[in-house]
Amino acid sequence: MTDKKPELSAAMKNKLEPKVFKKNPINGTKFTIAISSAKGGVGKSTFATNLALAMKKVGCKVGLLDADIYGPSIPKMFGINEKPKSDGQKLDPILKYDIQCMSIGFLADQQTPMIWRGPMVTSAIKTFTQKVNWKDLDFIIVDMPPGTGDTQLTFSQEIKLDGAIIVSTPQEVALLDVKRGIRMFDKLNVKILGLIDNMSYFVGDDKKKYYIFGDDGVKKTAEEFQKEFLGEIPINPEIGKSGDNGKPIVENNPEHEISKIYISLAEKIKSQYI
pLDDT tens for 204-235 read 889 899 998 888 899 999 999 999 999 999 99
**What are the beta bridge partners of residue 264?**
none
**Residue 25 exposure: Cα atoms within 13 Å on the Cβ side:** 13
128: Cα separation from own chain's centroid: 14
169-177 average pLDDT score: 85
Q: Which domains are assigned to the chain? A: 33-273 (3.40.50.300)
- Residue 214 CB neighbour total at 10 angstroms: 18
Amino acid 160: pLDDT = 87
Rounded Cα gap, residues 154 and 22, in angstroms: 11
| pLDDT-based confidence at residue 18 (cuts at 50, 70, 90) | very low
134-139 average pLDDT score: 97
Closest C-alpha among 254, 20, 252, 28 to residue 136: 28
Amino acid 122: pLDDT = 81
- 197, 170 contact by CB (below 8 A): yes
pTM of the model: 0.87
| pLDDT-based confidence at residue 76 (cuts at 50, 70, 90) | very high
Closest C-alpha among 44, 52, 110, 99 to residue 76: 110
